[in-house]
Amino acid sequence: VSDASGCSMIALLHTGAAKFPQNLLSRSRQAVSPLFPAGVLKGFSSIVSRKLASHAFGASMAAMSSFPPQRYHYFLVLDFEATCDKPQIHPQEIIEFPILKLNGRTMEIESTFHMYVQPVVHPQLTPFCTELTGIIQGMVDGQPSLQQVLERVDEWMAKEGLLDPSVKSIFVTCGDWDLKVMLPGQCQYLGLPVADYFKQWINLKKAYSFAMGSWPKNGLLDMNKGLNLQHIGRPHSGIDDCKNIANIMKTLAHRGFIFKQTSKPF
């Protein structure tokens, strides 16, 4: 306090209250308390509290608005794992079905759908498949069929409000294979319909190339390297790949990139 009135301290706290730690605020109130009636100090404390709350709210709003808004309310990050071998077996069958619901405003993960799927044409996983994906036989034995999993996806989509016509959402994959080849191919083989929401998507490789000016030949590994991101989990784990896709999307969004549909209408 620089003078007997204590006004310098009041002014300092009034203008810079948001920057003051709580312990200093407490000590400052003790220093000026002999100089002011209790009612004045109570009002002063109220002002400081409001300023702190306002600062915190402003900081959170600034963080939320630090990148431009996206065209979609939600991004549905998807990455299948399927039966495989060398040479390749036919037909391939989905054995891991993960989806992350990514909020288009905050780019944070809000919900997860994750199931393993029982293959029926080639029910026994090959050693190559297990080595590549980390999925062992016990993880798919006794699991629901693809038809049952697709029914549960639809239930999850409804529960998450994603089937509401006013809610704009789109799937995101690392490449076109998942929704252009794998899912429609297996559904055709099994005589199953493909839901309309699986018929438009964003290919993250194309989005990355638009944003960064180079094509990621090695997919997620190249994209993480180009953005100086740490790779999450193990490559070719469906759920881990989804987390990497989400992380890359969040980083690109914070750099100002606006994601757009890359698939052509069916």
Q: In this structure, is the dihedral angle defined by the CA atoms of residues 162, 164, 168 and 171, taken in order, positive or negative?
A: positive
Mean pLDDT of 33-53: 44
Query: Is-catalytic flag, 81?
Result: yes
pLDDT digits (tens, 9 = 90+) for 186-222: 999 999 999 999 999 999 999 999 999 999 999 999 9
**Which of these, 158, 195, 160, lies nearest to 179 by C-alpha position?**
195
Tokens of 230: 């740490």
User: What pLDDT is recorded for position 93?
Assistant: 98
Q: Whole-prediction pTM value?
A: 0.76
pLDDT at 39 exceeding the cut of 50 = no
User: What pLDDT is recorded for position 40?
Assistant: 42
- Determine which one of 93, 96, 160, 236 is catalytic: 236
Give the separation between CA 68 and CA 255, rounded to whole angstroms. Answer: 9
Give the separation between CA 74 and CA 59, rounded to whole angstroms. Answer: 24
Mean pLDDT of 234-246: 97
* Contact between 169 and 75 (Cβ < 8 Å): yes
Query: Is-catalytic flag, 236?
Result: yes
Mean pLDDT of 27-55: 44
Go through the domains of the chain in sequence order and give each one's CATH number: 74-255 (3.30.420.10)
Mean pLDDT of 57-77: 71
> How would residue 67 be classed by pLDDT, with cut points 50, 70 and 90?
confident
Mean pLDDT of 111-138: 98
pLDDT > 90 in the chain, percent: 73
pLDDT at 167 exceeding the cut of 60 = yes
User: What pLDDT is recorded for position 68?
Assistant: 87
- Determine which one of 81, 93, 96, 160 is catalytic: 81
What are the DSSP E strand ranges found in the chain? 74-78, 81-82, 94-103, 109-116, 169-173, 201-203
